[in-house]
């Protein structure tokens, strides 16, 4: 069985690229591949994976592994020791001799004082287990945090700089008390030096920074496979770690999910920093996957053609079986609340719609830095009964199915998964005709609208469909047909399988 690793920072409900990883991994395991999602950030990976599986977002057959959790397991020789259990029992007590306490029941915390001096703070989980203890120095700054696992042992100790409060040293522990990793930082660096302790042979490996540490782990996992695996990097944050891997023990595939140009996001513009570091080394990749033919042409024109660029669009393996009735007055937009999505101008455009259709509704799904300013804008424009910030939507299928149509008003995209998700749910999209993606998916005037970046025109098209709901429904019917024809799971998986076969064939020819 072919092994595929997908690398990302952390498991989350996430962005379009995160949802793409979940969709692709589900399709690949269905086709018989052995798929693991690898995460590099220090978080509770197992808990996140469980939540995502229970929600149906992460396929039950897709494996997950985290660098910190993996090294902990490799160095664990026994269960939680008696010494640790005794320490936990003592630490988890609420009252302590000679110390005054101040309880915050809302936050599940207790502060401890001696002579009005704050000594420490304890935090409990909702299930009643102790989560962590913070110890404070004479400057009232946090000095040390002891993090407890839900199984009642210290899993991590963090030491902070006395003045700045910056993390300086982190120790990671196994359930039986072995420190398997020391990570050190400084006042002036955001990355860490890592010292990895191997319990079985009593050795220590030193890594100069995070990327070197992560690269070594990825190399280790790939070297343990009997057959050369495929490793797919979808996230800009993990690109360096994957690019620096040993080229002989994996097939490296990098997927670019964004328009690589800076403003105005067209050829001739400068290249975004994180995309540039990938594209500058394009010939080192076994394959670079782009989402549209147009972006492929632009990349080749700027960085050259090494025969390793492939175009593979997104696909949606399934939509919710639970159907929601459409509301002829509801328009929605699923997007981060960020300047690149131009949400404030979209709200202004909808104000003009409300002047003609007073009961029209715009529902905005997403989170981001503009939340407070958008709330203020909605109130100042007297749109409290028309425009709603709905927060993050875990079930976007219901959002699309309820809406008469959806909007995409981004300054740029690389493909736009939300267009495809909307169309698969039988809901047309009014989209700005931007680089890249919308024109590759939407057939203008047949299953949606492609318009120039003009917010007056956006208002006009919104009014047109709200005043003609049957037209919108017919467009939605065609949107579903076209999406399922051109972006169905089988068509897209065939492109991935062709790529895998081609890379394996090249390996055999080079032997």
Distance between CA 496 and CA 26 in Å, rounded?
13
Number of domains in the chain: 3
**pTM > 0.75:** yes
CA dist 23 and 13 (Å) reads 12
The residue among 282, 311, 340 that closes a domain is 311
In the chain, what percentage of residues exceed pLDDT 90?
A: 87
CATH number at residue 18: 3.40.50.2000
387 band by pLDDT with thresholds 50, 70 and 90 = very high
> Phi, psi (5° rounding) for residue 415?
-160, -50
DSSP helix, strand, coil percent of the chain (3-state; round to 5): 35, 25, 35
Contact 370, 343 (CB under 8 A): yes
Residue 453 clears pLDDT 80, i.e. is over it = yes
Same structural domain for residues 65 and 115? no
Q: What is the pLDDT of residue 187?
A: 66
Residue 510 counted as domain residue: no
Same domain, 264 and 130: no
- For 217, the 3-state DSSP assignment is helix
Q: Nearest 10 degrees: CA dihedral of 233, 237, 239, 245?
A: -100
| 364 shares a domain with 246 | no
Does residue 65 fall inside a structural domain?
yes
Q: What pLDDT is stored for residue 1 in this prediction?
A: 66
List the structure tokens of 326: 């459409």
Return the beta strands (E) in 162-312 as ranges: 167-173, 179-186, 189-198, 203-207, 230-233, 251-255, 287-290, 309-311
**pLDDT at residue 319 greater than cutoff 90:** no
Task: Report the chain's mean pLDDT, rounded to a whole number.
Answer: 94
Question: Which tens digits make up the pLDDT trace of 233-244?
Answer: 999 999 999 999
**CA quadruple 340, 342, 344, 350: dihedral, nearest 10:** -160
pLDDT digits 0-9 by tens, 243-296: 999 999 999 999 999 999 999 999 999 999 999 999 999 999 999 999 999 999
Cβ pair 144, 135 in contact under 8 A: yes
pLDDT at 188: 66
- Let me know whether 35 and 146 are in one domain: no
The proportion of the chain whose per-residue pLDDT surpasses 70, expressed as a percent, equals 99
The mean per-residue pLDDT over the stretch 59-88 comes to 95
Question: Residue 39: which H helix or E strand, with range?
Answer: strand 34-39
- Retrieve residue 264's tokens: 């105005």
Helix (H, G, I), strand (E, B) or coil at 504: helix
Q: What is the predicted pLDDT for the residue at 5?
A: 98
Q: What is the predicted pLDDT for the residue at 394? A: 84
Indicate the pLDDT class of residue 511, thresholds 50, 70 and 90: low
pLDDT band at 45; cut points 50, 70, 90: confident
Q: pLDDT grade, residue 17 (50/70/90)?
A: confident
* Nearest to 388, CA basis, from 419, 421, 360, 349: 360
Any idea how long the chain is?
A: 511
Measuring CA to CA, how many Å separate 225 from each of 5, 33, 34, 37, 200?
Answer: 11, 14, 11, 15, 21
Q: Which of 43-57, 136-150, 490-504 has the lowest mean pLDDT?
A: 43-57
- Same domain, yes or no, for 221 and 331? no
DSSP readout, 67-128? HHHHHHHHT--SS--HHHHHHHHHHT-S--TT-EEEEETTTTEEEEEETTEEEEEEEE-TTS
Please report the pLDDT score of residue 14 as a whole number: 73
Q: What is the mean pLDDT of residues 409-430?
A: 95
Q: Do residues 151 and 282 share a domain?
A: no
Q: Is residue 508 part of a domain?
A: no
Q: For the range 111-115, what are the long-range contacts, defined as Cβ-Cβ under 8 Å and sequence gap of 24 or more?
A: none
Query: For the segment 98-144, what is each residue's pLDDT rounded down to a tens digit?
Result: 999 999 999 999 999 999 999 999 999 999 999 999 999 988 899 99
Same domain, 241 and 288: yes
Q: How far apart are CA 71 and CA 470, in angstroms?
A: 58
194 within domain boundaries: no
458 and 333: one domain?
Answer: yes
Task: Measure the CA–CA gap between 282 and 113, rounded to whole angstroms.
Answer: 58
Average pLDDT over residues 4-8: 97
CA distance 229 to 235: 19
One domain for residues 454 and 338: yes
Alpha helices by DSSP H, listed for 307-443, are 343-356, 371-380, 396-402, 417-424, 438-441
Residue range(s) defining the domain that contains residue 121: 82-177
Query: Do 337 and 483 belong together in one domain?
Result: yes
Could you tell me if 478 and 395 lie in one domain?
A: yes
Read off the pLDDT of residues 176-214 as tens digits, 9 standing for 90 and up.
999 999 999 976 667 889 999 999 999 999 999 999 999
Distance CA 469, CA 473 (A): 6
- Asked if residue 128 belongs to a domain, the reply is yes
Q: Which of 280, 311, 342 is the last residue of a domain?
A: 311
Same domain, 427 and 467: yes
Q: Is residue 497 part of a domain?
A: no
* Residue 503 belongs to a domain: no
Go through 109-131 and write b for each residue having 16 or more CB atoms within 10 A of its CB, e for each that does not.
Answer: bbbbeeeeebbbbbbbeeeeebb
Q: Higher-confidence residue: 340 or 46?
A: 340
Residue 183 covered by a domain: no
Provide the pLDDT for residue 26. Answer: 94
62: pLDDT strictly greater than 80: yes
Write out the DSSP string of 244-277: TS-TTS-EEEEE--S--B-TT-STTSPBPHHHHH
pLDDT band at 164 (very low <50, low <70, confident <90, very high): confident
Domain boundary among 158, 177, 196: 177
* Residue 191 structure tokens: 């990355």
């Amino acid at each position: 069985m072919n092994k595929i690793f997908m690398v990302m920072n952390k498991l989350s409900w996430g962005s379009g690229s995160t949802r793409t990883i979940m969709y692709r991994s589900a399709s690949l395991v269905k086709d018989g591949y052995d798929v693991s999602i690898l995460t590099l950030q220090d978080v509770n990976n197992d808990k996140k994976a469980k939540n995502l599986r229970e929600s149906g977002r992460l396929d039950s057959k897709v494996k997950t592994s985290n660098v910190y959790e993996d090294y902990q397991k490799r160095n664990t020789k026994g269960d939680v020791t008696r010494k640790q259990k005794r320490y936990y029992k003592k630490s988890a007590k609420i009252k302590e001799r000679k110390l005054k306490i101040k309880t915050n029941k809302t936050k599940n915390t207790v502060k401890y004082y001696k002579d009005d001096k704050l000594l420490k703070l304890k935090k409990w989980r909702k299930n009643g287990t102790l989560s962590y203890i913070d110890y404070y120095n004479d400057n009232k700054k946090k000095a040390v945090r002891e993090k407890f696992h839900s199984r009642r042992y210290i899993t991590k100790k963090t030491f902070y700089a006395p003045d700045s409060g910056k993390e300086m040293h982190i120790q990671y522990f196994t359930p039986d008390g072995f420190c398997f990793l020391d990570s050190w930082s400084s006042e002036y660096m955001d990355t860490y030096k890592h010292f990895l302790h191997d319990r079985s042979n009593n050795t220590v490996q030193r890594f100069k920074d995070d990327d070197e540490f992560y690269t070594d782990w990825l190399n280790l996992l790939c070297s343990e496979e009997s057959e050369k695996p495929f490793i797919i990097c979808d996230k800009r944050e993990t690109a360096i770690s994957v690019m620096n891997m040993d080229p002989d023990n994996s097939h490296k595939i990098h997927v670019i999910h964004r328009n690589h140009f800076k403003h105005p996001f067209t050829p001739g513009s400068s290249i975004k920093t994180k995309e540039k570091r990938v594209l500058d080394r394009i010939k080192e990749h076994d394959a670079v996957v782009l989402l549209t033919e147009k972006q492929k042409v632009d990349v080749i024109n700027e960085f050259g053609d090494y025969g390793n660029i492939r175009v593979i669009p997104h696909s949606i393996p399934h939509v919710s079986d639970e159907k929601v009735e459409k509301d002829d007055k509801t328009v929605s937009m699923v997007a981060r609340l960020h300047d690149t999505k131009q949400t404030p101008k979209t709200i202004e455009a909808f104000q003009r719609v409300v002047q003609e259709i007073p009961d029209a509704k715009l529902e905005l799904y997403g989170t981001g830095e503009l939340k407070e300013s958008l709330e203020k804008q909605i109130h100042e424009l007297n749109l409290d009964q028309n425009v709603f910030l709905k927060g993050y939507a875990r079930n976007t299928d219901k959002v699309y199915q309820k809406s008469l149509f959806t909007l995409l008003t981004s300054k740029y995209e690389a493909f736009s998964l939300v267009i495809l998700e909307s169309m698969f749910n039988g809901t047309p999209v009014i989209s700005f005709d931007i680089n890249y993606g919308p024109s590759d998916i939407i057939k203008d005037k047949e299953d949606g609208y492609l318009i120039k970046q003009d917010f007056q025109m956006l208002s006009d098209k919104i009014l047109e469909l709200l005043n003609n709901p049957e037209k919108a429904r017919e467009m939605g019917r065609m949107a579903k047909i076209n999406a399922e024809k051109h972006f169905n799971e089988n068509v897209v998986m065939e492109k991935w399988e062709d790529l895998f076969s081609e890379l394996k064939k090249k390996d055999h020819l080079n032997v």
